[in-house]
Amino acid sequence: MTTVIPPGVEDRTDDVAAAYPTPTTRPRAAGLRNAYTVLAVLVVVVIAAWTIAPGLFTDQDPFDGVTADNFQSPSLAHLFGTDQFGRDILARVIFGTRSAVLTALLAVGIGLIAGSVVGLFAGFFGRVVDAILGRVIDTLLAIPGFLLAVIVVVSLGFASVNAAIAVGISSVAVFARLIRSETLWVSNRAFIESSRLIGGGKVIVLLRHVLPNVYRSVLALAVLQFGLAIINVSALAFLGYGNPPPSPDWGLLVAEGKDFFYRYPWFVYAPGLVMVASVLALGQLSKSIRRDR
């Protein structure tokens, strides 16, 4: 007897197969994710090494160049080429890493600390406090982060530290929202109620039981925000709100190279690709941390 398959069954079978991958598909996807994570770790290690000891990776001076060697294309002598003053672009990118990373770290630290205070108080101390701080969070979230950073840095003055403060303030609401939601979830757990029943005060319960459990979820966001902070700090430097020339800030390198882009594209591509690789690597690490929780 011949079985007649109704039209469309094959398509539904394909959908089920896609939704429930075979055992051979899962290890392959996991292996690919692990490869991406390993590559991301390698990129982060290189960036960290450039930050700690930039002089070990180049013998070129990032500030003084040989005028006769200007506008050289990438070669073995100058892997990223040279700029209009004969300065080695690779050396300037490497030495500019410390400013970008430290400024972004300061920005994330400001956002994390301020966001923690707001989020913990809003989620733990109840209705009135939550209502007031919740409106503050909503107001900050309503303003585009980079626009808020520009407003703050214009008010404070043009410098990398002020850029870090500006980017940090713009990320407070992001951290506060996550920490508030995590605090609300942890506060309703049985062990928190037990701590209160045995006489634990609000501050003790908050610091000893709520805080450690909340921060397990914050690490992935902090890594992601670190990458975003690098982009925002570099964007502020590109607009002239960071350190002045001849500082080798990544954003400033792109700003200086844009006038020569059509004839000498490596002026922009070199620092731009390093920035993109750094942010993508941090994004992949954040995804891996979130997946492994």
Mean pLDDT calculated for residue range 278-291: 89
Q: What pLDDT score was predicted for residue 91?
A: 93
Q: What pLDDT score was predicted for residue 54?
A: 92
Fill in the amino acid letter for 83: D
With 60 as the cut, is the pLDDT of residue 210 above it? Answer: yes
Compute the distance between CA of residue 14 and CA of residue 10 in angstroms, rounded to an integer: 6
Within-domain flag for 23: no
Q: What is the pTM assigned to this prediction?
A: 0.81
Within-domain flag for 272: yes
Within-domain flag for 278: yes
Q: How many domains does the chain have?
A: 1
Within-domain flag for 6: no
Mean pLDDT calculated for residue range 253-267: 89
Compute the distance between CA of residue 166 and CA of residue 135 in angstroms, rounded to an integer: 21
Q: What pLDDT score was predicted for residue 156?
A: 84
Q: In terms of pLDDT, which residue wins out, 156 or 195?
A: 156
Mean pLDDT calculated for residue range 180-191: 78
Structural domain range at position 61: 47-292
With 70 as the cut, is the pLDDT of residue 19 above it? Answer: no
Q: What pLDDT score was predicted for residue 208?
A: 72
Compute the distance between CA of residue 248 and CA of residue 257 in angstroms, rounded to an integer: 12
With 90 as the cut, is the pLDDT of residue 231 above it? Answer: yes
Within-domain flag for 107: yes
CB 112 within 8 A of CB 104: no
Within-domain flag for 22: no
Within-domain flag for 158: yes
Residues 129-143 have pLDDT tens digits of: 778 888 888 888 888
Within-domain flag for 224: yes
CB 163 within 8 A of CB 153: yes
Assign residue 53 the CATH number of its domain: 1.10.3720.10
